[in-house]
Amino acid sequence: MARLEYMDVYFSVQAFQEEDLRGKSAVIIDVLRAASSMVTALNNGARKIIPVGAMEDAVRIAQTMDAKDYLLCGEQNGNTIEGFHLGNSPLEYTKEVVADKTLIINTTNGTKAIKKASLANKIYVGCFLNQQSILEGLKEHDDDVVLICSGWQGKMSLEDTLFAGSVIYEMCEGKLPENTKDGVKIAFSLYEKYKENLEQSIGTSDHAIRLKELVPDGDIPFVCQKNKFDVLPTMKDGILINFNG
Ligand code: 3SL
């Protein structure tokens, strides 16, 4: 069982070094929207996901595969990348589109956080949609845990911090012990403040405002749903699979 006093929260991809994660378990959080899209895709039958840190890597990996087996996915500045099959809205990742496919995904912050976490013992991908599966996964081992908020280009983001806070809140049943790290206290306190109005507060976050002109209206309410999918995206040899699948 992961213990709260050894847990920490990093608030952006740039807030940690690869070495910080050695021997620990990491939960990569990107509520808007990479984690939400990956969790939805795995729930809807995607065979596996290959997260990449750069567009060229996505194209290079695709060239080694049969065209019928993969989809190139992701975003650049919130928009679908030219020549890619799917953007980064979880609403695009339906059964009809993703079942049995390998998804090669490149996003601005989320996939970079996953790649940077490569020294961690275990790497999970989490968001509100699979919160309960993350909590169950963290009960399975004694590793120290870091919750990594992808944020936006080095800045913290409200929605990722709220999810980190929500995980912490559930782990301590709403009563945070004093002997926790600053990051844990910050995320917990923020969640306590906004927990009754999650969708509204995320809907007015910097990231949501930035996305307003670019993405379907349904993205925000969709990503705010808790425990919609029993999916535990787990990295194995550079590939994300559903550990619960
Ligand atoms: O930064 C990311 O990884 C994306 O999830 C950002 S966006 O919401 O698709 O713009």
- Span from the CA of 128 to the centroid of ligand 1 (angstroms): 15
In this predicted model, what pLDDT tens digit does every residue of 116-171 receive, in sequence order? 999 999 999 999 999 999 999 999 989 999 999 999 999 999 999 999 999 999 99
Nearest atom (ligand 1) to Cα of 107? 3
- Mean pLDDT score, 185-194: 98
- Mean pLDDT score, 79-100: 96
Q: What's the CA dihedral at 219, 44, 104, 208 to 10 degrees? A: 10
Q: Are 70 and 62 in contact (CB under 8 A)?
A: yes
Q: Which of 150, 159, 240 is the best mutation target for the ligand 1 pocket, counting ligand atoms within 8 Å of the beta carbon and taking the most?
A: 150
The residue extents of the domains of the chain are: 4-230
Residue 33 preceded by cis peptide, ω within 30: yes
pTM: 0.97
Q: Is the pLDDT of residue 216 over 90?
A: no
Q: Are 36 and 85 in contact (CB under 8 A)?
A: no
CA separation, residue 233 to residues 42, 48, 140 (Å): 8, 9, 15
Q: Are 74 and 111 in contact (CB under 8 A)?
A: yes
Nearest atom (ligand 1) to Cα of 207? 8
Nearest atom (ligand 1) to Cα of 152? 1
Q: Are 13 and 113 in contact (CB under 8 A)?
A: yes
Percent of the chain with pLDDT over 70: 100
Q: Is the pLDDT of residue 2 over 90?
A: no
- Residue 147 to residue 157: CA distance in whole angstroms: 13
Average pLDDT in the chain: 96
Report the pLDDT value the prediction gives residue 82, as an integer from 0 to 100.
Answer: 92
- Span from the CA of 24 to the centroid of ligand 1 (angstroms): 25
Task: Report CA torsion sign: 194, 41, 242, 118.
Answer: negative
| Fold type of domain 4-230 | putative 2-phosphosulfolactate phosphatase (3.90.1560)
CA angle 38, 26, 155 (to 5 degrees): 75
- Please tell me the number of Cα atoms within 13 Å of 169 on its side-chain side: 19
Taking residue 193's Cβ as centre, other Cβ atoms within 10 Å add up to 12
Q: Is the pLDDT of residue 174 over 80?
A: yes
Ligand 1 site, CB within 6 A: 30, 32-34, 75, 78, 88, 107-110, 150, 211
Percent of the chain with pLDDT over 90: 94
Report the pLDDT value the prediction gives residue 217, as an integer from 0 to 100.
Answer: 84
